[in-house]
Structure 1
C-alpha cells in the first residue's frame, strides 16, 4: 500500500470518528455555553482539516503535473494549514474557558490571546506569494517552506499555555475527570510529536479525534449536572463551578433565590404547573445576560445565579434586573402566580470568601413572612460570617471541653421547694459578642454537632448529680433538653443508658424536654427514639407550648409528664391582652385536667409570679426565682431554699 493510501485510510478514520462526535453532540440536547460552542468548532475544524487532507492525498495519487489538479491540491493544502494552525489556539481557549481562567466578556485578554494565531494565519495567507509555508515543485511535489517551523512554533506556544492552565488550575477539574483530561491531552500531544518527527505519518488529526471523543464522553457530557425539570444546572454543578471560580480567584456574584411560598403554591397549582412556572423563570433568568451567567436549580425552593461581573455598576445592574423580574407577574398558562422570594446577593470574595458559606447561602430556609421580594446583601450577609465563627467556637469547645452546664431552679408552687431545675449549656470564655445559647444551639443543630454537645451536657449533669448529691437539699430531678436533630442522628437511648450506668444513676433523676417541633416531627427515627427512651424509663416534658401547632391528640398520645408554657403567652398578659389571658388560663386548666403538670417559664416579675400561681400552674421558672447558676452557686441556692422552707 502506498504512503498516500495509508494517509487516506488514517484521515478517513479521523473524519468518520469526528463526524460521529459532531452528530452525537448536536443531537444530544443540552445547554450551550460559549465554551461548548468552542468545542463544537474544534470538532468541525478537525473534520474540515481531515477532509482537506483527504483531498490533497487523493490528488497526489492521480496528479501528473496537471495545472487544474495542481490548483485543487494547492487550495486544499492551504485550507489544511489555515485550519490546522488554528486548532491549538481553539484548544487552548477551550481549556481556559473550561477552567474559568478566561471569560467571554474579557475582550482585552482575548485580543492579546489572538495575536500569535493572527500572525500565523497571515503567514499562511501570504503563502501563495511568498512560499514561506509550502510549495509544489513541478506542480505536484510538495515541499516544506522555510517558515513552516514558525507555524508549528505558534501551535506549540498555545499548547504550552494550555498545559500551564491545566497544571496551574488542576484542582478545578474533578478528580474523576482528571485522568481522562490528561489521557486525552497526552494522545493529542503524541500525535503532534510523531508527525513532527515523521512527517510522512499523518497521524496527528486521528489522535486529535480520539482525544476529542474522550472529552466529549466525559467533560462535555453534562447529564449529571442538569436538573431534568428546568434544564438548569443542578446543585452538583453549582458546587463544582464555585470550586473552579474560587480556584482561579475570579470575582463573581452569587444570587440565591429562595422561594418561601413554594409548598403552598405546589398544593394550590400542583407539581406539574409549578414545575413549568419554575422552568419559565429559569429561562427568563438566562436571558438577562448572554455571557458569563449561569442558572442553577439547587433544590425545590432555591434557584441560584452565578455571574462574572465586570465592575460595581454591572453588579448593581444585574441585581436590580433580577429583583424587577421577581417583582413582576409570572403567568403560566391560565395562572397568575405571585412568588414570595428572598434574594440573597453576594460578591465573592468580598462578601463571602469560602465555599461553606456559599452552601449556607443556598441552603438557608428564610423564615420571613413578607410578601413579594426581600433583598439581603452587603452587611445583611454578615450572619454567614458570624455563623462560621460560631461553628469554629463550637468545634473548639467540644475538642477542649469548653462547655459548662448551668442550672436554673424550678419552683414547686405546692411546696415552695426547688425540687427540680433545667440544665442549660454555656460556652466557656466565648470570644463572640452577644452570643446567646439559642443562637449557638441552632448552629450546632445545623452542622450536626448537637449530638456531641448534647452528650457532653448529659454527662456533666450526671456527674453533678453523683458528685454533689443535690437530693439532700430537696432536688428530685433535672430537666435536660433533647433536640430533634439529636434524636435523628444519634442512638440517644443507648448512649444515655451507658452514661447513666457510668455514673450509677437511674432514669428517674431526669425529665427530657423536647419542643413542639420535635413532638410533631413526621419522622420515624424520632418516633422510634422517643419510644425507646420511654421504654428505658425516661419521662418527657413538652417545651415552649404555644409557639407551634400542637393539638390535644398529639399531646395526649405522647403522654408527657409535664407541659412547659412559652413565656410569650405570659408576657402578653402583662400588656392587658384579654385574649392571651384567656388562652393562658384555659390552657393551664385543660392541661391539668388531662393529668399533666404545668410549668410556666419566663417569670421575671412579682406580678407575673402571682398571676402564674393564680391561674393554677404547678411549677414556675424564670429570673424572678433565679437566673441560671453554675454548680456551686446552685448548690448554695438549694441550701438556702431548704432552710427558708424549714424555717
Structure 2
C-alpha cells in the first residue's frame, strides 16, 4: 500500500511556523501555555514520524524490521498523546486556576494509561500493528486507540459546552471547531488509512487555537506591556501551590489624578509606561504586573532577589522626576508588603491582606511603606472565617430569611414586606449583612446565596399563604453580581413556577452598586421581567450621587429613601429642605415612595405630611422570622377590623 504523505509535509511546515511564532512572542508562564507548547512539539513529532512511516512501511523489505517497529511505535505514541495533551490544554483554559474535577483527572489518567500500555507493549503483543514478513498489518486492539481518541474528543465537546459561561465566544467557537475537526479526522482515518490526513488536521487545529484562543495578549496590558491582573492572579495561585515563601510588593502612586489634570491623559499614560519600564529594570519583566489605575505589583520569589534592596530601589527610582515633553513631574510612591505564608496561606487570603493594607494607605497618606501586621492577619483570618461560615451555612441552615413589614402611611395596614437575609454562627453570633454580603459578592457565593433567598421567599409565600394574609408583594434584594448573570431570568422563573408564585407577588430591589456594574444587562433583564409581571424598586435612594440618572435610565416602580437621608433630615434643617423637594420631585414622576429607617413618630408624621406612601423601620417592627411575621400581620388585621 502506498501512502500519501503530502498532508504530513504541509503539517510539518505549519507546526514549525506556529512553533517559531510561539517561541518568538512574549509568552506568559501559565500551565495552559506549557500544555500548548508540549502539544505543538508532540504534534510535530507525530507528523514527522507519520511521514517517515509513509516511506518505511511500503519499503519494509529495505528497512530494518526493528526500525519499522520503533518509528511506528513513536508515531502511535505521539499521535495518541496529542489528543491527551489537547484535552489537558482545553481543561486548563476552562478551569484556569481551579483544580480539575476528580472525574476529569481519572478520565485522563485511564485514557493515557490505556494508550501508553497498548503502544509500548505492542512489539511483543502485536495488539496495535505487526509485520507479517514485509507486510504491515493492523492488530486486533487497534480499534481501542480509536475508541479512546473518540472518547477524549467527546469529553472536550462536553466540557466546552458545560463551561461555556466561563469562556469567551471566540474561545467557544475555536474549541468547538477544533474538536469537531479532530473528531472528523479520526473517523476519516479509520476508513481511509492510506490518506495521512490526521497530522494535517491537527496542524490546522493548533493554528486555529493559536489565532483564536492562545492569545498571549490576554495576559499583557496594552499600555504598559506589563503582565495584567489576570496574569497576577494566575501566577499568585501557582506560587501558592509550590508552598515556597515569596513576597508581594504592591506599588501605588499617590495623587496621580493631578498628573492627568495638569498634564493631560496622554502625558499620564506616558508616565505609566515609564513607571513600568523603571520597575521592569529593577525586577525583570516576568515579576512585574500592572493591576489597574496606578497600581503595580512586584513578586519577589527568587533567593537571589533581596527584598530590602528591591524596595529601596523602587522608592528611589519612582521618586525621580519624570520628563514628558517640557513638563517635569515628581510622584510619591506608596508600597504595601505582604508575605507568603506569613500573611495568608491562599491566594485569596493574600489578596485580602493587600486590599486591607490599601485601605490603611487611604487613611494615612504620609506612610511610604505598609507591612502586613497582626491586625491585618486578624482581618484576613476573619475574612477566611466568613467564607467558611457562609459555605457551611448553605448546607446547615445557618442562613435565615427574615421579613420586615412595610406600613401603608394612609391606612396603617401592612400589604408588603422586605425579605432580609440573616447569618448566625455559634462562634461569631449574628453577623451583620453589611459584612457578609460584600464578602459573598467578592467570593462569588452571592449567586448561590441569592438563589437560596429567592427560593426561600417563594416557598414561604406559598406555605404561609401570603395572598390570603393580604400581602401584595415581597421585596427581594438583587446584588450587582446577580444582575450580570445571563441566565438570571430563567432561574427566577423556574423557581416561581415550582412554588406557583405569581410574578406580581415579587418586587426586586436594585441597589446603586448593582445599577452601576450591570447597565445594559440590567436594563434588558428589567424590561423582560416587567413584561412578565415583576416590579422593581430602586433601593437606598439618596445614598449616592448618580441616583437621578438611574431613575431616568431604568423602569423602576418604587423608590426607597435611604435611612441616612431620613435621619439627617430630622436633625438638620438644610437636609430637611432637600428631603421635601426630593419627595415632591418623585411624586411628580409618579413613583411610589417608601421611607426606610423610620424610628420615631415625629419622623413618620413628617414623612406622611411630605407625601411618603409607605414606611419601613423599627418604629413598627424589626425584621422577624416568617412565623412571627404571619402572627404580626394577623394581629394587625384583627386590630384594624376591630377599629
Do these two structures clear the TM 0.5 threshold for a shared fold by scoring above it? yes
**What's the counterpart of residue 638 of structure 1?**
633
**What's the counterpart of residue 405 of structure 2?**
409
Q: How do residues 247-262 of structure 1 correspond to structure 2 at under 5 angstroms?
A: 247-258=241-252
**What's the counterpart of residue 121 of structure 2?**
none
User: For 1:604, which of 599, 614, 617 is the aligned residue?
Assistant: 599
C-alpha distance in structure 2 between counterparts of 1:597 and 1:266, whole Å = 43
**What's the counterpart of residue 295 of structure 1?**
288
C-alpha distance in structure 2 between counterparts of 1:520 and 1:234, whole Å = 24
Q: How do residues 242-641 of structure 1 correspond to structure 2 at under 5 angstroms?
A: 242=236, 245-258=239-252, 272-285=266-279, 294-308=287-301, 332-335=324-327, 343-360=335-352, 372=365, 376=370, 377-378=372-373, 379-380=375-376, 382-429=378-425, 431-432=427-428, 435-521=431-517, 523-550=519-546, 552=548, 554-574=550-570, 576-641=571-636
C-alpha distance in structure 1 between counterparts of 2:619 and 2:389, whole Å = 31
CA contact (8 A) 1:407 1:628 kept: yes
Distance 1:380 1:460, change over 3 A: same
Residue 439 of structure 1 and its aligned partner are, at CA, apart by: 2.0
Distance 1:464 1:226, change over 3 A: closer
- After superposition, the C-alpha distances for 1:484-503 in whole angstroms (9 at most, x for unaligned) are 22121242222222222111
CA contact (8 A) 1:508 1:537 kept: yes
Root-mean-square deviation (CA, aligned residues, Å) is 4.2
CA contact (8 A) 1:398 1:453 kept: yes
- After superposition, the C-alpha distances for 1:607-628 in whole angstroms (9 at most, x for unaligned) are 3333323332111111222111
Structure 2-normalised TM-score? Answer: 0.58
Residue 479 of structure 1 and its aligned partner are, at CA, apart by: 0.8
Residue 400 of structure 1 and its aligned partner are, at CA, apart by: 4.1
**What's the counterpart of residue 115 of structure 1?**
none
**What's the counterpart of residue 205 of structure 1?**
none
C-alpha distance in structure 1 between counterparts of 2:505 and 2:466, whole Å = 11
CA contact (8 A) 2:424 2:431 kept: no
* 3-state SS of paired residue (1:543): strand
- After superposition, the C-alpha distances for 1:493-546 in whole angstroms (9 at most, x for unaligned) are 222222221111211112111012333446322221111111111111110101
CA contact (8 A) 1:544 1:566 kept: yes
Distance 1:639 1:337, change over 3 A: farther
C-alpha distance in structure 1 between counterparts of 2:251 and 2:606, whole Å = 46
Structure 1-normalised TM-score? Answer: 0.58
- After superposition, the C-alpha distances for 1:265-284 in whole angstroms (9 at most, x for unaligned) are 66875554333212322344
* Of 367-376 and 613-622, the range deviating more from structure 2: 367-376
C-alpha distance in structure 1 between counterparts of 2:333 and 2:348, whole Å = 22
Distance 1:323 1:582, change over 3 A: farther
Residue 598 of structure 1 and its aligned partner are, at CA, apart by: 1.0
C-alpha distance in structure 2 between counterparts of 1:556 and 1:228, whole Å = 36
Q: What is the number of residues matched between the two proteins?
A: 434
CA contact (8 A) 1:339 1:372 kept: no
C-alpha distance in structure 2 between counterparts of 1:583 and 1:253, whole Å = 51
Larger radius of gyration: 1
* 3-state SS of paired residue (1:645): helix
* 3-state SS of paired residue (2:540): strand
Q: Which runs of 5+ in 1 are unaligned?
A: 1-23, 32-174, 176-221
CA contact (8 A) 1:298 1:362 kept: no
